[in-house]
Structure 1
Amino acid sequence: GAIVYRRSSSITHLENCTTLERLGLGKLSSELSRSRASAMGLRLTKAVKDYLDGTPVLISVDVIRKEQKLRLDGIIKTVITLSCNRCGAPALESIFSNFSVLLTEEPI
């Protein structure tokens, strides 16, 4: 489920929680990644009903409308499990990534 609120008339803030499994990235999910995500404060909301044991992915986006353009500035947070190339043991990687996307009706 998404949480929506407005800071001003031109900016809308959206937050959504999903899982790695819902995004088709289940092979990067494990009990270890779920535990680390929980320690980071990432929790699944009640709206995520199909993968209750999945690794949470939090997406937080500011949508800024200016004339005929939309600018999306956001953050993605999750934890993924990778295999160590040296010993084969699971290695956890916390993901905290910023992104910006500009959407226009005209080609740039």
Structure 2
Amino acid sequence: MMKNVFIGASALVLAFATNLSIAANGHKSGNPAKKAKRFDCASCTGESMKCINNVCVLGARIYTASDPLGDRYKCTYYYRWPDGSVSQEYTEISYFPCPL
């Protein structure tokens, strides 16, 4: 019983000392938050990419049509970015129906 009380008291003292240290020095995480990588807008290329606030962002592909074309499908889609903007429409040929 005495051993359990000693271990419990040691843990309490350690927690108290840690809280005092944080209060005195501020909380410092071992893993500081990473800043978002910034890119030159000129290097943000490709139909799915757009530079928003100097950050290269991948748009979400939104399919709007899946038209049979012989043994294939003609897929129509566009991209939507987090700022609400959308791209022009694009098409591609696929062996499978497009996810609508």
TM more than 0.5: no
Under a length normalisation based on structure 2, what TM-score does the superposition of the two structures give?
Answer: 0.28
Give 1 or 2: higher strand fraction: 1
Under a length normalisation based on structure 1, what TM-score does the superposition of the two structures give?
Answer: 0.26
Give 1 or 2: higher helix fraction: 2
RCO comparison, higher one (Cα < 8 Å, 6+): 1
